[in-house]
C-alpha cells in the first residue's frame, strides 16, 4: 500500500483557540481511516483544514506527494479530495439533481486520470447506491428526511470522482436503521476503491469499517492503531465504546 495523504505536525487555530495542536498521521491509499474523539477535540478542524476551508497555522498536508496545505478549496478539490461536511450543508432551495450537479464543479476533465467517470456516470453510480434519491431527483432538497439529506451530501461529494472522500459525522442525528444503511454504503464506496477519511461519534460502527484510527483529545492524538485492535482497547472501550459491544 502507498500513502495518499500525509499530515505532518498540523496546527489549526480559530482566533485565539488552538483547536489542533500538532498532529501527524498518514492515510494509506484505498483504506478507511477514522478520526474519533469527543466533541470539540479538533476533528472537524482537521478535516476542514485538509479540504482547504481553513488555512493551517503550521504543519504540512501532503496529498499524492504534493504539499496542498493552504491551497484554495477549489485547487484541493481538483486534486481529488471531496468533503461531505458536518451538518450536511445541502442547498435546500435546489432540487436533488441540482445539488448533485453542484458536486461536479471540480470535475475538470483535464485534471482527472484517464478513464475517470463522467458526471452522468457518477450520477448513475449514486442513484444506484441510493435509489430514493433517484425517486426524488426533482424534489427540493429541503423536503427530504434527515437520512435522505445525508445520502445527498455523500452523493454530492462523490460527483467529482474523488480519490479521497472525507466524511464528517455522516451518522449524526439519524435513526439506527438509517445509520446502518449509511455505513453499508460507506463500505461499498471503499470497496469501489475510494480512500475514505471519516470522523464519527459512533466509534464502534466506525471501527468495524475502518482499517486504522486515531483518537483526538483536546487537539492531540491520544490513541492510534489498527481498527481491529482498537475495538478491543480498554481505554477506548472505557471512553467511547462503553458496553455497546
Ligand X SMILES: Nc1ncnc2c1ncn2[C@@H]1O[C@H](COP(=O)(O)OP(=O)(O)O)[C@@H](O)[C@H]1O
Strand partners, 21: 11
Q: How far is the CB of 45 from ligand X (least distance, A)?
A: 3
* Nearest Cα to Cα of residue 154 among 127, 176, 135: 127
Tell me which of ligand X, Mg ion, none is bound by residue 19, counting a contact when its beta carbon lies within the kind-specific cut-off of 5 to 8 angstroms: ligand X
Tell me the per-residue interface mask from 81 to 100 with Mg ion, x by CB under 5 A, - otherwise: -----x--------------
153: phi > 0 → left, psi -120 to 50 → alpha, else beta; which?
alpha
Question: What distance separates the 2 farthest-apart alpha carbons in the chain?
Answer: 50
Tell me which of Mg ion, ligand X, none is bound by residue 45, counting a contact when its beta carbon lies within the kind-specific cut-off of 5 to 8 angstroms: ligand X
DSSP secondary structure letter of residue 218? T
Strand partners, 95: 140
Which residue of 44, 46, 149, 205 would you call a contact of Mg ion, by CB under 5 A?
Answer: 44
Question: 39 vs 120, which CB is nearer to ligand X?
Answer: 39
Output the nine-digit C-alpha cell for 32.
Answer: 478507511
Q: What is the dihedral of CA 233, 3, 64, 227, to 10 degrees?
A: -20
Residue 189: C-alpha distances to residues 19, 54, 126, 218 (Å): 30, 26, 10, 30
Q: How far is the CB of 199 from Mg ion (least distance, A)?
A: 6
Question: 6 vs 86, which CB is nearer to Mg ion?
Answer: 86
Sign for the pseudo-dihedral over CA of 78, 161, 63, 222: positive
DSSP secondary structure letter of residue 142? G
Contact, 190 vs 196, CB < 8 A? Answer: yes
75: phi > 0 → left, psi -120 to 50 → alpha, else beta; which?
alpha
Question: 60 vs 86, which CB is nearer to Mg ion?
Answer: 86
DSSP secondary structure letter of residue 144? S
Among positions 195-224, residues that touch Mg ion (CB under 5 A) are none
Q: How far is the CB of 15 from ligand X (least distance, A)?
A: 6
Tell me the per-residue interface mask from 136 to 175 with Mg ion, x by CB under 5 A, - otherwise: ----------------------------------------
Q: How far is the CB of 47 from Mg ion (least distance, A)?
A: 8
Q: How far is the CB of 44 from Mg ion (least distance, A)?
A: 3
Name the one range near Mg ion by CB under 5 A: 40-48, 111-119, 122-130, 235-243. 40-48
Tell me which of ligand X, Mg ion, none is bound by residue 164, counting a contact when its beta carbon lies within the kind-specific cut-off of 5 to 8 angstroms: none
Q: How far is the CB of 54 from Mg ion (least distance, A)?
A: 12
List interacting residues with ligand X (CB under 6 A).
Answer: 14-15, 17, 19, 37, 39-45
Binding interface with Mg ion (CB under 5 A): 43-44, 86
Amino acid at each position: 500500500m502507498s500513502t495518499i495523504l500525509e499530515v505532518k505536525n498540523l496546527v489549526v487555530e480559530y482566533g485565539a483557540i488552538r483547536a489542533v495542536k500538532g498532529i501527524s498521521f498518514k492515510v494509506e491509499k484505498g483504506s478507511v481511516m477514522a478520526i474519533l474523539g469527543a466533541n470539540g477535540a479538533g476533528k472537524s478542524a482537521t478535516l476542514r483544514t485538509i479540504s482547504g476551508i481553513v488555512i493551517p497555522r503550521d504543519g504540512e498536508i501532503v496529498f499524492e506527494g504534493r504539499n496542498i496545505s493552504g491551497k484554495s478549496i477549489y485547487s484541493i478539490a481538483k486534486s481529488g479530495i471531496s468533503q461531505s461536511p458536518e451538518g450536511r450543508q445541502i442547498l435546500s432551495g435546489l432540487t436533488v439533481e441540482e445539488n448533485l450537479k453542484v458536486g461536479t464543479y471540480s470535475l475538470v476533465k483535464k485534471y482527472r486520470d484517464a478513464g475517470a467517470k463522467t458526471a452522468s456516470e457518477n450520477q448513475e453510480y449514486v442513484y444506484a447506491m441510493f435509489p430514493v434519491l433517484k425517486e426524488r431527483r426533482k424534489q427540493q432538497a429541503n423536503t427530504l428526511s434527515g437520512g435522505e439529506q445525508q445520502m445527498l451530501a455523500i452523493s454530492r461529494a462523490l460527483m467529482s470522482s474523488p480519490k479521497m472522500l472525507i466524511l464528517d459525522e455522516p451518522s449524526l442525528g439519524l435513526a439506527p436503521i438509517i445509520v446502518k444503511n449509511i455505513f453499508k454504503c460507506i463500505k461499498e464506496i471503499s470497496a469501489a476503491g475510494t480512500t475514505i477519511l471519516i470522523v464519527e461519534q459512533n466509534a464502534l460502527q466506525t471501527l468495524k469499517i475502518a482499517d486504522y484510527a486515531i483518537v483526538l483529545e483536546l487537539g492531540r492524538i491520544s490513541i492510534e492503531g489498527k481498527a481491529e485492535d482498537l475495538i478491543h482497547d480498554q481505554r477506548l472501550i472505557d471512553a467511547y465504546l462503553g458496553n455497546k459491544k
